[in-house]
Chains A and B, each alone.
Chain A
Amino acid sequence: MDVQPNPTKEFALSRGERDSAACAIAGVINEQGRRFNGERIIRMIANMHDRSNGLGGGFAAYGIYPEHKDLYAFHVMLDSAAARENFEEFLRRYYEIETEEVIPTAPLREIRNRPILRRYFVSLRDRVLGEHYDLTEQDLVVRHVMQVNGQIKGAVVFSSGKNMGIFKGVGYPEDIGRFFRIEEYDGYLWTAHGRFPTNTTGWWGGAHPFGLLDWAVVHNGEISSYGINRRYLANFGYHCNMHTDTEVITYLFDMLLRKHRLGIEEACVALAPPFWDDVERMEPERRELVRGLRITYAGALLNGPFSVVLAHSRGMIGFNDRIKLRPMYAARRGDELFIASEEAAIREVSPELDGVWQAEGGKPVVCELKVPLDAPEKEPARA
């Protein structure tokens, strides 16, 4: 049974403006695909408590729904029963709903004005795919998520990947983590975000991670090129509805990696290209490639101070702006790679490290699973 929330001021309000923020980010992945619970990621992000101000926190977890791994797991925020009705009507039109339920939460004094939080494990109806010979299944999911977030009042799909989930809301991240009981999930990849929004008050949908399909982005910084990134994306059918600049990062990665089939390295060149002076010094073949990427994707260039962790089913990418105006540390210990705004957050959960380094501006830190995704499930390694 759903609890009808109070009219949620933070939820309903502030979709009128773009939001930008200064924040804490963290991520950890086990390259062997071994799963562990959310306890450590909470400790990592809690260690950076002062980098957020209680107006938003969230987590992305991969590998948490093995029993539904072939279904899209839609996590949805709904601000009224009417919104729920509209959303479910929309959903049923296009999807078979295998399971639907309330996202389990723990009552917590710190978390107030929560919206209705539900999740739906769904598959696209064959009929729908048949109607769109020119679109892939993922294209349709993207389109539907955009439609819900842009057109169904009071409904936000904030997680839409398979065998992964995003949990987020207004509050300090460690409280949000306890609220969503993330220590009860096991994943091989976790990212987290603590928010310090600067332009508007926080709202549930505006918290990070920001997700689309199985992409999840956590972001510290401000995208000063947002205005043109947003208009550029509109050219390709991506419509920004969430009024947070993190949204454009997610869509740009989705477009470059999934639609345009660039490699991660080339996508990062497009989003944070080398300076022209450096391009001129490259050997000719490389120069042609980088020049081509830079002039073609000029509207995709992310400018301004940012550090970003992009997670996806197969791995994690840490990514800084061109002149590194935001902090980001990476570290390795055994099969695990850590990324965080501060080294202390990493040391908090892994005092001993094989190596720790500062990510370079514009140069991605890339970590991929060393095992196939559907490898036989190993025993969860409890941290």
Chain B
Amino acid sequence: MRRWLVQPEFKVERDLERCIQCQVCVRQCANDVHSYDEEDEQVSSDGACCVGCHRCATLCPTGAISISRSQLEFKPNANWTPESIRNVYKQAEGGGVLLSAMGTDRPWRVYWDHLLLNASQVTNPSIDPLREPMELVTYLGRKPDQIRVERGPDGKVRLATEITPQLKLQTPIMFSAMSYGSISYNASQALARAAKAAGTFANTGEGGLHPDFRQYASNMIVQVASGRFGVDPDYLNVAAAVEIKIGQGAKPGIGGHLPGEKVDAAISRTRMIPQGSDAISPAPHHDIYSIEDLRQLIYAIKETTQHRKPVSVKIAAVHNVSAIASGAVRAGADIVAIDGLRGGTGAAPTTIRDNVGIPIELALAAVDSRLREEGIRNQASIVAAGSFRSAADVAKAIALGADAVYIGTSACVAMGCHLCQRCYTGKCNWGIATQDPFLTKRLNPDVATRRLTNLLRGWSLEIKEMLGMMGVNAIESLRGNREHLRAVGLSDREMVILGVKPAGE
């Protein structure tokens, strides 16, 4: 590799006493870090191309490989960090837009880590989820303002209010939009199967619905994004719900681009575009230039689906997110999904990923409060997205006002992702964010499905423990119940926006 000003990020070291020259690392690394010299009969490593994905180290049978951050340090400079210097080198070299993947890695405040949950002591008993029912069932969709009942001649009371379509979730956690194309067939299949097994939903992203995945469609939300890939009446009608994607937390206001080399025969068929052609999603929907246009699309979809599917609108958390969410609800959205600053992506311009939008915690709190102030909170469910790392993050989001959450990165991590942030290269050594058949076959869909359902099960059990410790036995008693949150280390203004009291008060 040509040496240039950008120095390697990682150093790959090989313990020659342990190495048995088996060449597993050579075969496993799609970035050509490891090579085998047949003349010398020697495996060697060049850390220059290492992305830090740990595939080689994980699979090395003798534990001979260690990966560490490059020790080459710049003169300390609080302003010019090594990243900013390297980025200038890269752009001076290439003159292009720097790309990144996954959610931002900048140290933006993670508000989850400043919020603490409550627990019962004495006056209200905590409830043991191993002995008592503990309910996580969540219905997403528009709810009426009130229920009307009628008493029949037989004296029986019947429901007289029509309830619009709802999604029933066994646990308030869904898989975020990840398109087939940005992730592999096996990864897509695992997400769909896990959603079905766990009684929740996976989101197709804007990649269309592969014919093989139709069998899971009752547990899938299909996305209609600006590229309209794979969208036809059948696609809309086969799914459980339809989501209009306006924006994405990692790249609000930015479109998408699946390079032509990833568009193989299957993806071409699924997205309904020619093989090998770039799949470009424009920044806006070219039929949505205003809120009334959004309303038209929402109702076009509702008409197409005979009003049998809830329609979700996904927006990125930007500065005036609460007004936008309110507009979406009034335009007819049954669900509003909000994707925060730290939300993931398969590819985004680094500078946008790292500098645009607001954290999901503040956006979620603002939207929930705003919809309540307007008296329309019941008209749509709120789904929060943008980096949930644990069941505690999920519980805190629900306490702030989310009906459910989307997880993307956590799901990828469950399947083996190591957050190397190079999804856009198509060289995912873990077989997730790639279409290279040599790499995709590494992800066993049976194993991945099991790992995903395990994650959902584990988090659900933990949420049940948390509900029980708070002395409630249904998720709706936590939802929007900010009395069960206290803040540590936040400013008064931040606490006002979050609607939480400081710890001790």
Contacts and interface: CB of A to CB of B under 8 A. Distances in A.
Given A225-B477, A226-B483, A305 B378 contact: no
Interface stretch (B98-106, B157-165, B448-456): B157-165
Interface stretch (B14-22, B89-97, B133-141, B208-216): B133-141
A263 interface: yes
B144 interface: yes
A227 B125 contact: no
B123 A227 contact: no
Interface string A294-329: 011111010111000000000000000011010000
Contacts of A289: 149, 157-159
B138 to A, nearest CB: 9
A305 B124 contact: yes
B473 A323 contact: yes
B227 to A, nearest CB: 34
B156 interface: yes
Contacts, number: 124
Contacts of B139: 295
B287 to A, nearest CB: 33
A231 B371 CA distance: 11
B143 A227 contact: no
B144 to A, nearest CB: 6
Contact of A293 (B123, B124, B147, B151): B147
Contacts of B471: 222, 224, 303-305
Given A222-B471, A276-B135, A231 B480 contact: yes
Given A263-B157, A325-B125, A298 B479 contact: yes
Contacts of A323: 127, 132-133, 473
Interface string A272-305: 0001110000000110110111011111010111
B146 interface: yes
Contacts of A262: 147, 149
- In which size bucket is the chain B interface? 35 or more
A382 interface: no
Interface in B189-220: none
B120 A224 contact: yes
A182 to B, nearest CB: 29
Nearest to A235: B375
Contacts of B120: 224
B166 interface: yes
A317 B481 CA distance: 27
Interface string A73-102: 000000000000000000000000000000
A224 B477 contact: yes
Interface string B366-404: 000000100101100000000000000000000000000
A18 interface: yes
A221 B122 CA distance: 11
B149 A266 contact: yes
Nearest to A266: B149
A265 interface: yes
Nearest to A300: B476
A22 interface: yes
B341 interface: no
B372 A298 contact: no
B124 A266 contact: no
B418 interface: no
A303 B161 contact: no
A109 interface: no
Contact of A224 (B124, B148, B149, B159): B124
B123 A276 contact: no
Interface string B63-75: 0000000000000
B144 A227 contact: no
B472 interface: yes
A275 B135 contact: yes
Residue of A18, A198, A225, A325 contacting most chain B CB atoms (<10 Å): A225
Contact of A227 (B148, B377, B483): B483
Given A222-B123, A222-B471, A234-B372, A228 B476 contact: yes
Contacts of A297: 147
B302 interface: no
A332 B313 CA distance: 56
Interface string B458-478: 000000000000111110111
Contacts of A296: 143-144, 146-147, 161, 163, 378
Nearest to B127: A323
B251 interface: no
A260 interface: yes
Contacts of A231: 372, 480-482
B378 A235 contact: yes
B368 to A, nearest CB: 9
A251 to B, nearest CB: 14
B166 A295 contact: yes
Contacts of B144: 296
Contacts of A259: 146
Given A225-B472, A295-B166, A305-B471, A22 B479 contact: no
Nearest to A16: B505
A276 B137 contact: yes
Interface in B424-440: none
A277 B133 contact: yes
Closest 7 CB pairs of A and B: A227-B483, A303-B477, A227-B481, A225-B477, A298-B476, A222-B124, A228-B481
Given A228-B478, A296-B143, 18 more contacts: A199-B123, A224-B471, A225-B472, A225-B477, A226-B481, A227-B483, A231-B482, A235-B375, A261-B148, A263-B149, A265-B157, A289-B158, A295-B139, A298-B479, A301-B474, A301-B477, A305-B125, A323-B473
21 contacts: A18-B483, A20-B123, A20-B124, A198-B123, A224-B471, A227-B481, A228-B479, A228-B480, A262-B149, A263-B149, A263-B151, A270-B147, A275-B133, A289-B157, A295-B163, A296-B161, A296-B163, A298-B479, A301-B477, A304-B472, A323-B133
